Chains A and B, each alone.
Chain A
Amino acid sequence: MEAKFPFRKVLVYLDGSEGSMSAAMYAILLAKSSSSQLHALYCVNTKALGDLVKARIFVSQEKNEYLADLNKDAHRHIRHIEKLAASKDLTVSSVIVEGSPNAEVSRYIKENKIDLLVLGSVNMIRSRREELTSETDRMLRTSTCPVLVCRDDDAVWQMFEEL
């Protein structure tokens, strides 16, 4: 009997971290084994850039430099997941957006009827200060669809190699 999975559309959020690349590999494994559609989203955090200019931590010249750097980083990571997916005969709908990562992921989930969000890592709770909540923490807390947090980097890499 063929296995049935409670999801058809998997979204992985990429933020340029190693953790998010492990999540990308895990999402490829999930999509491949469940014949689900795979989506990848990288959000260039222009909300944070704007806040840094407003707080006078960034000057506008610096903001433009970082915007260019972040866009380069986004394209690099999207190219990487497309290559990884292709190596497993899978296509990925990838998108680069600008704004606040949590808001953009929420919007994408709703607009594309995503039914599983895969995240790379969430912070250990080491402080009660709400201000230290990361973007991925916020996504985990506010996502309107089930969320899978990918933790064990080495095991994921090995599973990916073996598929």
Chain B
Amino acid sequence: MGLLDIVKKDLIINPLKSTSRNEIISDMVDLFADNRKLTESERAAVKKAVLDREALGSTAMEKGIAIPHAKIPFLKESALVIGISRIPVDFGGSEKSSIFFLVLASEEKPAEHVQLLASIARLCSSDVFVRMLATSKSADDVYQLFFD
């Protein structure tokens, strides 16, 4: 499974309304949970897994990008939620973040998870792509950028 297989228009939030790290994670997990019709306990487990991972060290990187992620025991297929914030948010890194890729991985497929994260990192090495993402106006714009 490649990155483009998991980019879904209905799993993109643009713009994000929240302004703190935990709220942003919560909003992105909620979108995923609603989309996949997760139970309340599953929703809470996903949030906890992502926050626990952030507690080990922020996933904020250069260029205003953050890639929160976690392995989720009950997931059969990996999933990606993308969020774009108009206002840069303190995500615990050395610079504020405005582009968020939430990667939720199936525990059974570690190779796929590594591949997906590496693809996102490679994609974000393009300054042009990052600039276009940051200035995108809607979920449609973001989706289109991947399939250009």
A binds B: yes
Most chain B CB inside 10 Å of its own CB: which residue of A15, A45, A57, A126: A57
Query: Given A45-B111, A127-B4, are A57 and B126 neighbors across the interface (CB < 8 Å)?
Result: no
Query: In angstroms, how far is the closest chain B Cβ from the Cβ of A10?
Result: 22
Query: In angstroms, how far is the closest chain B Cβ from the Cβ of A12?
Result: 16
Interchain CA distance A51-B117 in the complex, whole Å = 10
Interface size class of B (residues with CB under 8 A): 20 to 34
Residues in B whose Cβ lies below 8 Å from that of A93: none
Interchain CA distance A31-B4 in the complex, whole Å = 33
Interface size class of A (residues with CB under 8 A): 20 to 34
Interchain CA distance A132-B62 in the complex, whole Å = 19
Query: In angstroms, how far is the closest chain B Cβ from the Cβ of A78?
Result: 13
Interface membership of A86, Cβ < 8 A = no
Interchain CA distance A76-B52 in the complex, whole Å = 29
B56 touching A62, Cβ below 8 Å: yes
Interface membership of A52, Cβ < 8 A = yes
Query: Given A123-B2, A126-B4, are A131 and B119 neighbors across the interface (CB < 8 Å)?
Result: yes
13 residue pairs of the A-B complex, CB under 8 angstroms, read A16-B112, A17-B111, A45-B114, A48-B117, A49-B114, A57-B69, A57-B121, A70-B114, A127-B147, A128-B148, A129-B129, A129-B148, A134-B115
What residues make up the interface of A, taking CB atoms closer than 8 Å to B?
A: 15-17, 45, 48-49, 51-52, 55-59, 61-62, 66, 69-70, 73, 123, 126-129, 131-132, 134-135
Task: List the 4 shortest-distance A-B pairs measured between CB atoms, nearest first.
Answer: A69-B110, A48-B118, A16-B111, A59-B57
